[in-house]
Structure 1
Amino acid sequence: MIPSVRQAYNKRFTETAYHDFLQGMADEAGVAPAFRVAETPVFVPAALTTKLVQACEEIVNVVLRPDFKQLTEAAIPHHLRVPNENDHPHFMVIDFAVTHGNDGEPEPQLIELQGFPTMNAFQQVMAGNYRKHFHIPEQLNNYFNGLDDQQYYDLLREMIIGDHKPSSVILLEVKPQEQKTRIDFYATEKYLGIKPVCITELIQEDNRLFYMCDGEKTRVKRIYNRIIFDDLLRQQEQLGPHVNLFQDLEVEWITHPNWFYRISKFTMPLLHSDYIPKSWYLHQLPVIPADLENYVLKPLFSFAGQGVKIDVTQADIDAIQDPENWILQRRVTYAPIIETPNGKAICEIRMMYIWPDGAARPMLVHNLSRLSKGKMIGVGFNSSDTWVGGSCCFFEY
């Protein structure tokens, strides 16, 4: 999106450099990515950077409302509520489509948000290897708030481990070795020293949790949670015996699971900004828009794009039996804005926040991007294209 930088990058690109880039990430993390990583990062011009940060801070202001918890109580399904919720999420991510504004300039439009961690460790592995294997102008930065590599990992370590021994903290997932995001688990273990653990490996004694670490039963004092509980319930019959995480356990959560639901698609109808498409809870929709083709239907409790209806019809709305669990959102038109050697790509940008205990506001720290040449954005929708997939941004300030 910065024309001079884009043209220079495309001209210098070689398949050899791309192969070395992929191998560099695999060598650093100890495993190759299980999803497609794009041939290019995204170069974000200063005007768009300003708009993205403004949109994010407007959303943060809503999350900081004194009545935010009250407004989002219905977001947490009763059977998925976990005790001992804290005051705020420790991690938050905000996803934007890059579109064209009315003036023709690049503009962000909110797609989704989550009170949940993302690929925090791997994104820096990726960004570092882009810099190592390709020419990235020094004035462009993947970080925010003046962070560098050391400060970023120190912040992650303080956020996730705190005063605990690394062996007392685990990254919890369902079958972590089978997840497409497992490269992030390996990078987290390498840089922070905490192990990825499957829920089936937890041992419960009274209300305390343990796991086997280097042959010794070790107390779990803090969980860096990567489980999406809705997915856990769908898989639990195939998992076999495992600890019930919905009980009062003597453990700290980073981030507490309830925030995954509070800050989610459920939040979107509460948000109002030039960079946020109008959304309604379906059961509170005042009138069905005449131009339904300009809207999308999203289930509140389905993730990774599952169940989203893009070409909405009246029949789709009539068929929904639980409208309280759906939102109708003004459709966002992605701009084919990334020039590649074989056609233009569309782009989504995830802004990544960390919120330490005691901090008045969350802190914007890093980013993630995804490129596509199809209708859907996501690493699972681009298996046959090139210059698409997971990526990261380098921002001009």
Structure 2
Amino acid sequence: MISKYRGQFNSSFTEQKYKSFLKILESGLTSIPFRVAETPVFIPSDLQKKLIDAGEEIIKLIKQPDFKALTKDAIPSNWNVPNENEHPHFLTFDFGICKDANGLLTPKLIEMQGFPSLYGFQPELGRVYKESYELPAALTPFFNGLDEQKYVSLLKRVIIGDYAPQEVALMDIDAPNQKTAIDFLITQKYLGIKILSLTDIFKEGNALFYKEEGKKIRLKRIYNRLIFDEVEDKTALFEQCFDPRSEIDVEWITHPNWFYRISKYTMPFLKSEFVPETHFLDTLTEIPSDLENYVLKPLFSFAGMGVIIDVTKADIAEIKDPKNWILQRKVVYEPIVQSPDGGVKLEIRLMYLWADGQEPQLCINLARLSRGKMIGVRYNKDFDWVGGTIGLMEK
């Protein structure tokens, strides 16, 4: 997209450089089970500004005094966790990169979450891309004048706060075997916190503990990476550890309810040039005549599961719980990233940190390249120049 960098990168690219890059990225950590793309993305300043503006419009809605009332039905009753705080600590907004009526690049919102993303992996990814491919020092993956040191300092403030690192743990259902384990390990390297599986934690009274070298250690904060979808049919596990929905004396970073409040559920409330027309299915008075231009999405699903891309009236008629679905105008991705053999589609995730007592701050990004119908592993099998990457911008 910044043509001078793209031309330089493509002309000097070799498979050997790519293999060396991957080897350095995994070195001393773990193998990466998801595909990392051959190339970073070079984000031009005009698109960068539009992305920032789009994010700010969404944050205005989230900061409205009535936002919790607006999203009260977003949280499934059986997964409503007590002691919710006033705002999420993480915001991630995914934008498909398209062209507008004037042929200019513009972002269109695809998904949003009040839940952590790869906040450890992305700065490492940006650094290794720059070093492995000898990219200019003037390029950065960070926003708002941040560098790696300032970013890690803010990450510590959000996740650890005033606690000792051993009182804080990153938690997932089976942390060492998650596809995002490399992100967990880098986060631990940055912050010095524990990585715990759900069953590593036990409850005494309302307090939570884990054991290290036979010693019982009180857990004050949980950096929560557990998505309840993954334990919906495994709640028997809670008998071995603790039920996240119970009254417990722990701080959630971020509280699980925000995963639902800031999600596909929020999109029908957004009216912006950067947000595709979106309706709760149960509020539709009539089905659009150009249904081929829409996509049908379940509210409560993860990683694109259940999405119906080529919607028919019969699909809509078969939906038994329309209040839990949205109908959204399709976003037409433009294949704007030039690979050696054609254009590749792009999605950019803006990643914010929201420290207690401060404003949300746009920090870094995650990008994904695709040649398939949708962004995601299952739509990009057997392709090259696809997968996870990062956007680099001129300082």
Using the alignment, how far apart are the partners of 1:21 and 1:239 within structure 2? 41
Alpha-carbon contact 1:173-1:198 (below 8 Å) kept: yes
- Taking the aligned partners of 1:39 and 1:368, their CA distance within structure 2 comes to 14
The answer on whether the counterparts of 1:351 and 1:366 sit within 8 Å (CA) in structure 2 is yes
- Answer whether contact 2:199 2:237 (CA < 8 A) is retained: no
**1:128-183 CA deviation, whole Å, 9 max, x = no partner?**
10011113233332101111111111111111011111111000101112211111
CA distance in 1, matches of 2:375, 2:214: 42
Aligned 8 A contact 2:115 2:258 in 1: yes
Match of 2:204 in 1: 205
Aligned residue in 2 for 1:23: 23
The Cα shift of 1:382 comes to 2.5
Q: CA deviation at 1:236?
A: 3.6
- Alignment check: 8 A CA contact 1:34 1:183 kept: no
Q: Give the TM-score of the pair, scaled to structure 2.
A: 0.97
CA contact (8 A) 2:203 2:241 kept: no
State the SS of the aligned residue for 1:247: coil
Q: Distance in 2 between matches of 1:65 and 1:32?
A: 42
* Amino acid paired to 1:358: G
How far did residue 23 of structure 1 move?
Answer: 1.2
- C-alpha contact (below 8 Å) 1:300/1:327 kept by paired residues: yes
Contact between 2:202 and 2:240, CA under 8 Å: does it hold in 1?
Answer: no
User: Are the equivalent residues in 2 in contact too, given 1:99–1:108 (CA < 8 A)?
Assistant: yes
Kindly report which structure 2 residues correspond to 1:130-279, keeping only aligned pairs within 5 A, or say none: 130-236=129-235, 241-279=240-278
Aligned residue for 2:356? 357
Show the counterpart of 1:329.
Answer: 328
Deviations 1:197-256 (CA, angstroms, capped at 9, x unpaired) = 111111110111111124321111000000111222134457873311101100000000
- Report if aligned partners of 2:126, 2:140 keep a CA contact under 8 Å in 1: no
Relative to 1, partners in 2 of residues 1:370 and 1:102: Cα closer, same or farther, differing over 3 Å?
same
Query: Partner residue of 2:390?
Result: 392
Q: Residue 377 of structure 1 aligns to a residue in which SS?
A: coil
For structure 1, which segment, 113-122 or 194-203, has the greater mean C-alpha deviation from structure 2 after superposition?
A: 194-203
Quick check: 2:354–2:360 contact (8 Å CA) kept in 1? yes
Aligned AA for 2:192?
G
**CA shift digits 1:95-115 (9 cap, x unpaired):** 000111111111100000000
Secondary structure at the residue paired with 2:131? helix
What RMSD over aligned residues (CA atoms) do the two structures have, in Å?
1.4
- Does the residue aligned with 1:272 lie in a helix, a strand or coil? coil
Q: CA deviation at 1:380?
A: 4.3
Preserved CA contact (<8 Å) 1:224 1:254: yes
Q: C-alpha distance in 2, partners of 1:293/1:265?
A: 20
Residue pairs, 1:2-21, within 5 angstroms:
2-21=2-21
Report the equivalent of 2:46.
47
1:326-348 residue CA offsets vs partner (Å, 9 max, x unmatched): 00001101111111013221111
TM-score between the two structures when normalised by the length of structure 1: 0.97
Q: What displacement does 1:285 show?
A: 1.3
CA distance in 2, matches of 1:161, 1:215: 24
CA deviations 1:38-75 (Å, max 9, x no partner) are: 00011111111111000000000010111000000000
> Does the residue aligned with 1:21 lie in a helix, a strand or coil?
helix
Secondary structure class of the residue paired with 2:61: helix
Question: 2: CA distance between counterparts of 1:214 and 1:58?
Answer: 49
2: CA distance, partners of 1:377 / 1:24: 26
Cα distance between partner residues in 1 of 2:228 and 2:18: 36
Query: Does the CA-based 8 Å contact 2:220-2:249 persist in structure 1?
Result: yes
Cα distance in structure 2, aligned partners of 1:303 and 1:366: 22
Matched residue type, 1:205: E
Q: Distance in 1 between matches of 2:205 and 2:310?
A: 51
Q: Who is 1:372 aligned against? A: 370
Say which SS state the counterpart of residue 113 (structure 1) adopts.
strand
Query: Is the CA contact (8 Å cut-off) linking 1:202 and 1:210 kept in structure 2?
Result: yes
Q: Unpaired segments of 5 or more residues in structure 2?
A: none
**Identical columns (%):** 50
Letter in 2 for 1:15: E
Question: 3-state DSSP class of the match of 2:145?
Answer: coil
Question: How far apart in 2 are the matches of 1:13 and 1:167?
Answer: 43
Whether contact under 8 Å (1:109, 1:277) holds in the other structure is yes
- Of the structure 1 ranges 250-259 and 16-25, higher mean CA displacement relative to structure 2 is found in 16-25
In structure 2, the residue corresponding to 1:9 is in which secondary structure? Answer: helix
Asked if structure 2 preserves the Cα contact closer than 8 Å seen for 1:200 and 1:240, the reply is no
Alignment of 1:383 onto 2:372: no
In structure 1, how many angstroms separate the alpha carbons of the residues matched to 2:204 and 2:276?
48
The 3 A distance-change label for structure 1 pair 160 and 380 is: farther
8 Å CA contact 1:296, 1:311 repeated in 2: yes
Q: What code does the residue aligned with 2:19 have?
A: H
Letter in 2 for 1:331: K
Query: In the alignment, what sits opposite 2:296?
Result: 297
Q: Distance in 1 between matches of 2:288 and 2:212?
A: 56
CA contact (8 A) 1:36 1:383 kept: no
Check whether the contact 1:34–1:180 (CA below 8 A) recurs between aligned residues. yes
Aligned to 1:307: 306
Does the 8 A contact of 1:31 with 1:183 survive in 2? yes
Q: Secondary structure at the match of 2:233?
A: helix
